[in-house]
Structure 1
Amino acid sequence: MFQLAHISDPHLAPLPSPRFIDLLGKRFFGYMSWHRRRKVIHQRRVLSALAVDLAEVRPHHLAITGDICNISLPAEFENGLDWLNTLGRPDSISVIPGNHDAYVSMPWDQSLGLWADYMSSDSVDGGEPVSARNFDDFPYVRICGPLAIIGVSSAVPVSIIKASGRVGPRQLVDLEALLAELGARDLFRVVLIHHPPFETGVSWRKRLEDLDGFQGVLGRVGAELVLHGHIHKFSFERIAGARGYVPVIGVPAASATSDRAACLAHYHVYDIERDQNRWRVTVRVRGLSPLKDEFEATDEYSFLAPL
């Protein structure tokens, strides 16, 4: 049995002090939003409690589906690297960016490039892993025992009023080829994407713009599981796949506290094992206790994939 943990949207606090020039454009509005509302919701002490719980649960691998940053300040990417290093080795953690990690255009080496080792791609023929080298090095794939983890980037800078995402035609072509090859190897394919690849409960300004293209890829070649973030709440949807429905699951923000959050901080641990010609997935839900800064078991359910 393989254990995969999934957290999303940590929104690391505190926000670094920006220079005046840093707040020109979209960052100004994000800065105001942080100080009016979001800094009450996203608390570093919650992430500290999460790290303690992860160390006790000891999953085989950890997936983080974006929004480590808040307004993409250079110092946020440096802080993000420091935080990732406290959670574990790069080969045990897979990261994809979210819209807050691409809030504005930034040079690769000052932004996502700092996390490149957490976005490395394994050679499907057994060669050495290769770290991401630029914004075009998505999707990546990691082979973890019976799992193939495919990291997709939907993070692109967009206008002030939007928080939408886009995968893009090149990534979609590469994703389809990867899923087909990995499916032929009978691996449990987990796709990581920040923006939810469905319409239910997602406003137009936060949606995945090429949703039809992404769903079309799954319809042709399938996957066993899609994990996302972005909406800061639980979700369980399904997308038609090549051999049945693909489960699509999201989790609340990993640092969320206070009654102003959509949901308190939670994360999932997926226990994945073969069940004849399908896969049994047991989802263990762990959440922040409303009474103390500790995570605890809150729910558990299971399903067979494909659905």
Structure 2
Amino acid sequence: MTVIAHLSDLHIGPVPFPRALPLRLKPVLGWINWARQRGAHEAALLQRALAAVRDAGADHIVVTGDLIELGQDTEWRAAAAAAAALGPAGQVAWAPGNHDLYTRDAPVRIRAGLAPWLAPAEPCDDIRAHFPRLDRVGDVALVTLCTGAPTWLFSAEGALGAGQLARLDRLLAGLDRQRCLPVIAMHHPPYAPGLSRLKQLRDGAALLDLADRHGCQVILHGHLHRACRVDWQGAHGRIALIGAASASAAGHGHDDPASFNLVTVTRTPDGFAWQVERRPVG
């Protein structure tokens, strides 16, 4: 039996007003939006969530994005501390989201503060070059992707990009399916009925087609701030899209209250079985 703890959307605060010069419009507007919704995420809830995840005794932990809000240096220092508090980098995977890539200098800050959580890659401006990251954990091949990419004002879209999709294709093709169940983890859901175009994953259809060709059964995601499940039917089988609530959410508005998921994978005579348990934080 293999257990993966899945938490998401930490949105670590408090968020200082952007003071780097020259001031840029996107961080300023982002701070105003955060200030208007300041009670949506609570530091105390997040600390309880991190402690509960550690105490759950999972074999591995994956955080599906949005560690921070605006990507300022103080936020990244807090994010690195939170990631380290969960466990060693070899036991904690991270799938960057749109807030993690909020500004165009985000890759520099990420490599400075979270390098141990990145797979090796040639130096470049695109943090997606470090993904997919593969962690072999018992009966699970945990494949972490990056959907975070710089976007324009008022956009929370994501994109995997052709290069990352090609690397994922090769990675999945090389897995011994008799020995492991692939579990994909990413921030944006590849399919979410009714989601605004400005919040969607641009190449979600391509990801689903690829995952379907390789017989994947489970994709973990965040972004929606809801504990949810959508079953997507492909040509070769069904893929469960499992969303986690924000680990710091007070539960206002459309957000679910803070929780995390435990994904348990067991070996069966026919292959593998899996189940998901939601653990509330309160």
Q: TM-score, normalised by structure 1?
A: 0.85
Residue in structure 2 matched with residue 72 of structure 1 by the alignment:
71
**Count of residues in Structure 1 that have an aligned counterpart in Structure 2:** 279
Residue in structure 2 matched with residue 196 of structure 1 by the alignment:
189
Residue in structure 1 matched with residue 203 of structure 2 by the alignment:
210
Runs of 4+ off more than 6 Å? none
Of residues 277-286 and 148-157 in structure 1, the stretch that sits farther from structure 2 once superposed is 277-286
Query: Structure 1 residue aligned with 2:265, among 263, 272, 275?
Result: 272
Query: Structure 2 residue aligned with 1:159, among 141, 152, 158?
Result: 152
The Cα of 1:256 is off from its aligned counterpart by: 0.3
Q: Does the 8 Å CA contact 1:117/1:131 hold for their aligned counterparts?
A: no
Query: SS at the partner of 2:34?
Result: helix
Question: What is the aligned-residue RMSD (CA, Å)?
Answer: 2.0
1:87 to 2:80 alignment: no
1:282 to 2:275 alignment: yes
Residue in structure 2 matched with residue 230 of structure 1 by the alignment:
223
The Cα of 1:229 is off from its aligned counterpart by: 0.5
Of residues 254-263 and 42-51 in structure 1, the stretch that sits farther from structure 2 once superposed is 254-263
Query: SS at the partner of 1:274?
Result: strand
Aligned partners of 2:209, 2:86: CA distance in 1, in Å? 35
Of residues 226-235 and 70-79 in structure 1, the stretch that sits farther from structure 2 once superposed is 70-79
1:187 to 2:186 alignment: no
Q: Using a 3 Å threshold, how does the CA distance of structure 1 residues 181 and 249 change in structure 2: closer, same or farther?
A: same
By relative contact order (CA 8 Å, sep 6+), the higher-ranking structure is: 2
Aligned partners of 2:272, 2:179: CA distance in 1, in Å? 11
Residue in structure 2 matched with residue 16 of structure 1 by the alignment:
16
Aligned partners of 1:245, 1:21: CA distance in 2, in Å? 49
Q: Does the 8 Å CA contact 2:41/2:248 hold for their aligned counterparts?
A: yes
Aligned partners of 2:93, 2:121: CA distance in 1, in Å? 11
Residue correspondence of structure 1 range 1-307 to structure 2 within 5 A: 1-19=1-19, 21=21, 23-37=23-37, 39-106=38-105, 108-120=107-119, 130=120, 135=127, 136-184=129-177, 186-241=179-234, 243-260=236-253, 262-289=255-282
Query: SS at the partner of 1:202?
Result: coil
Query: SS at the partner of 1:173?
Result: helix
Which amino acid in 2 is paired with 1:82?
Answer: A
Q: Does the 8 Å CA contact 1:218/1:241 hold for their aligned counterparts?
A: no
Query: SS at the partner of 1:283?
Result: strand
The Cα of 1:192 is off from its aligned counterpart by: 1.0
Aligned partners of 2:71, 2:106: CA distance in 1, in Å? 11
Aligned partners of 1:245, 1:77: CA distance in 2, in Å? 37
Q: Unpaired segments of 5 or more residues in structure 2?
A: none
Q: Does the 8 Å CA contact 1:99/1:154 hold for their aligned counterparts?
A: yes
The Cα of 1:288 is off from its aligned counterpart by: 2.4
Of residues 222-231 and 64-73 in structure 1, the stretch that sits farther from structure 2 once superposed is 222-231
Q: Unpaired segments of 5 or more residues in structure 1?
A: 121-129, 290-307
The Cα of 1:258 is off from its aligned counterpart by: 4.5
Q: Does the 8 Å CA contact 2:139/2:267 hold for their aligned counterparts?
A: no
Q: Does the 8 Å CA contact 2:251/2:258 hold for their aligned counterparts?
A: no
The Cα of 1:259 is off from its aligned counterpart by: 2.8
Aligned partners of 1:223, 1:54: CA distance in 2, in Å? 26
